[in-house]
């Protein structure tokens, strides 16, 4: 608010300046190249900044060239956009079940599932300076550490930064200092939540106060921590794989301490190439369970890749809606599970069919027939 009031006081000047200023509030004309991504922080993980599909395509990244061609075609010859009714849109979606679908390398939220999403931001008073405060993960379990990074730059060059305070703030109000020290072009540190004497899941606030020459600044990020004592379950040994009803079932042990609804996710790859993802949500009592992970047959035949397959990014959590954090993390499965050498032809290429699918289609049809609210969606580009 303190920064807003001077902006208000300088309103007329600022408005005149904004009206003439090229920048974020000026939109490029159609066909013009989209604006660049925010000023970056080269020393930091590339995940800190994302580009749109068209820019990524123009950069020649693998797997995105077809998007670039689609954009070029659209720009040169605008097409009418066919609209799909809810029934038709759902039928196209429900070729695969909601809990196991094809996996694409662009689904970074499923593959790099624990990454953070902070991005460099200009300093409020000095737009030539960008500030990024981030870390290496969001969920932290047991003995895992959290590595915060502060990267302040003037243009592309690292700016001189004086860190005044770096602390982890706990839900009970305790403020635990940690060291955020120069490391190459950034300030970096390590937080060890296991040393914070927490007996339950906690939302940690990691805060830093610093000065890069434009006055005191404060930044903060949050992370969710599950201490070892609160871990609700642990993965055990793989229990084999088989073809069941045309789909691939891979089983693994789960040792459950805390009963409840579990959220289990995993991805399937063939020779490093993505094939399918799965999610299962069993309600489990305490004890050791055989946990089947089903990868839908058509998702595998769509990829057309033969086994052996590897199950990777196997992770899980106990659902705790109504709590903060809303999940209690299970330590991720270490490594990958390799399946037998199933040819893709062993699996069914049939579309998903289930009572819930037929029920939903029937309900959507009734709604349409009654003249209820009508929503349509344009077809995806690759469906036109």
Partner 1 sequence: MRRPARLVRLALLPLLLGLAACADPVGEGEAPLEAGDPIAVKNGGGTTYMLHVGGICSYSFTNSSKGDGDARLGQWSGVESVNLEIDQTESMSTAVSQMIGHLDTYCTGEDECLLYTYSNGGAVISQALALTESGRWNILWVFGTASNEGGSEISDNFLAAPVTGLGFACRLADEIGPSDHRAGWNHNDTGGTLFYLLAGRDEWWYTGGVPDFFGGSANDGAVAYHSSGGLNDTYHISDDEPWLCYEPAYHFAGHQAAFTCEGRDLDHNAMKMAGIAELGG
By beta-carbon proximity to partner 1, the closer residue of 243 and 367 is 367
Interface with partner 1 by CB under 8 A: which range of 16-24, 177-185, 192-200, 290-298?
A: 16-24
Among 88, 95, 115, 196, binds partner 1 (CB under 8 A): 115
Cβ neighbours for 279, distance < 8 A, ≥ 6 positions apart: 99, 100, 263, 264, 265
Interface with partner 1 by CB under 8 A: which range of 104-112, 174-182, 234-242, 341-349?
A: 104-112
Counting contacts by CB under 8 A, is residue 127 touching partner 1? yes
Closest CA to 294 of 343, 249, 336: 249
Q: How far is the CB of 103 from partner 1 (least distance, A)?
A: 9
Token pair of 109, please?
């939220």
Instruction: Strands of 56-201 (E only): list them.
Output: 83-84, 100-102, 121-122, 129-134, 139-141, 149-154, 157-158, 162-169, 175-177, 181-183, 186-188
By beta-carbon proximity to partner 1, the closer residue of 43 and 214 is 214
Among 41, 44, 58, 89, binds partner 1 (CB under 8 A): 89
Residue ranges in 253-292 that form contacts with partner 1 under rule CB under 8 A: 261, 263, 265, 277, 279, 281, 283
By beta-carbon proximity to partner 1, the closer residue of 280 and 338 is 280
Interface with partner 1 by CB under 8 A: which range of 183-191, 193-201, 290-298, 362-370?
A: 362-370
Interface with partner 1 by CB under 8 A: which range of 22-30, 230-238, 289-297, 298-306?
A: 22-30
Among 43, 88, 121, 176, binds partner 1 (CB under 8 A): 121
Closest CA to 347 of 301, 292, 278: 301
Counting contacts by CB under 8 A, is residue 50 touching partner 1? yes
Among 59, 108, 143, 179, binds partner 1 (CB under 8 A): 108
SS3 300: helix
Residues facing 122 on adjacent strands: 130
> CA–CA separation, 103 vs 269, rounded Å?
9
Counting contacts by CB under 8 A, is residue 200 touching partner 1? no
Interface with partner 1 by CB under 8 A: which range of 111-119, 249-257, 329-337, 338-346?
A: 111-119
> CA–CA separation, 28 vs 39, rounded Å?
18
Residue ranges in 321-350 that form contacts with partner 1 under rule CB under 8 A: 321-327
Counting contacts by CB under 8 A, is residue 45 touching partner 1? no
Among 61, 116, 192, 234, binds partner 1 (CB under 8 A): 116
Token pair of 288, please?
């050791």
Determine the size of the site formed for partner 1 (CB under 8 A). Answer: 114
> CA–CA separation, 224 vs 383, rounded Å?
39
Counting contacts by CB under 8 A, is residue 221 touching partner 1? yes
Among 45, 52, 200, 304, binds partner 1 (CB under 8 A): 52
Question: ∠ CA 325-116-330 to the nearest 5 degrees?
Answer: 45
For 25, 95, 277, the CA distances from 90, given in Å and listed in that order, are 37, 9, 19
Contact 242/226 with Cβ under 8 angstroms?
no
Counting contacts by CB under 8 A, is residue 124 touching partner 1? yes
Counting contacts by CB under 8 A, is residue 68 touching partner 1? no
> CA–CA separation, 278 vs 269, rounded Å?
12
> CA–CA separation, 207 vs 148, rounded Å?
10
Residue ranges in 133-152 that form contacts with partner 1 under rule CB under 8 A: 133, 138-139
The verdict on whether omega for the bond into residue 92 sits within 30 degrees of 0, i.e. cis, is no
Closest CA to 187 of 215, 214, 206: 206
Q: Around Cβ 177, how many Cβ atoms within 10 Å?
A: 9
Interface with partner 1 by CB under 8 A: which range of 15-23, 153-161, 284-292, 304-312?
A: 15-23
Among 71, 95, 196, 243, binds partner 1 (CB under 8 A): 71
Counting contacts by CB under 8 A, is residue 154 touching partner 1? no
SS3 192: coil
Among 41, 44, 58, 97, binds partner 1 (CB under 8 A): 97
């Amino acid at each position: 608010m303190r920064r807003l009031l001077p902006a208000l006081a300088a309103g007329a000047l600022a408005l005149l300046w904004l009206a003439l200023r090229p920048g974020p509030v000026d939109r490029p004309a159609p066909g013009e190249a989209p604006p660049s991504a925010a000023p970056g922080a080269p020393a930091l993980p590339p995940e800190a900044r994302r580009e749109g599909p068209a820019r990524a395509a123009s950069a020649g990244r693998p797997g995105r060239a077809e998007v670039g061609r689609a954009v070029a075609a659209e720009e040169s010859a605008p097409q009418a956009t066919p609209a799909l009714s809810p029934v038709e849109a759902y039928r196209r979606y429900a070729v695969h079940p909601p809990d196991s679908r094809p996996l694409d390398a662009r689904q970074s939220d499923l593959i790099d599932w624990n990454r953070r999403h902070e991005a460099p931001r200009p300093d409020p008073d000095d737009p030539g300076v960008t500030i990024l405060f981030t870390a290496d993960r969001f969920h932290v379990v047991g003995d895992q550490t959290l590595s915060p990074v502060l990267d302040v730059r003037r243009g592309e060059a690292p700016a001189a930064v004086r860190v005044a305070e770096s602390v982890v703030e706990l839900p009970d109000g305790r403020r635990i200092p940690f060291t955020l020290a120069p490391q190459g072009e950034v300030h970096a540190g390590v937080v060890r939540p296991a040393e914070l004497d927490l007996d339950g899941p906690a939302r940690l606030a990691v805060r830093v106060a610093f000065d890069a020459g434009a006055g005191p600044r404060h930044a903060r990020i949050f992370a969710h921590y599950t201490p070892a004592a609160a871990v609700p379950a642990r993965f055990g040994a793989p229990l084999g794989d088989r073809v069941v009803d045309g789909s691939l079932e891979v089983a693994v042990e789960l040792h459950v301490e805390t009963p409840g609804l579990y959220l289990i996710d995993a991805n399937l790859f063939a020779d490093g190439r993505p094939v399918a993802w799965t999610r299962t949500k069993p309600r489990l009592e305490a004890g050791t369970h055989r946990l089947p992970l089903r990868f839908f047959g058509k998702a595998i035949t769509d990829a057309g890749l033969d086994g052996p397959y590897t199950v990777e990014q196997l992770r899980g959590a106990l659902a705790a809606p109504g709590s903060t954090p809303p999940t209690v993390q299970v330590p991720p499965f270490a490594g990958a599970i390799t399946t037998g050498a199933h040819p893709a032809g062993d699996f069914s290429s049939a579309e998903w069919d289930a009572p819930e699918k037929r029920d939903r289609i029937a309900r959507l049809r009734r709604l349409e027939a009654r003249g209820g609210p009508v929503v349509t969606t344009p077809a995806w580009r690759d469906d036109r």
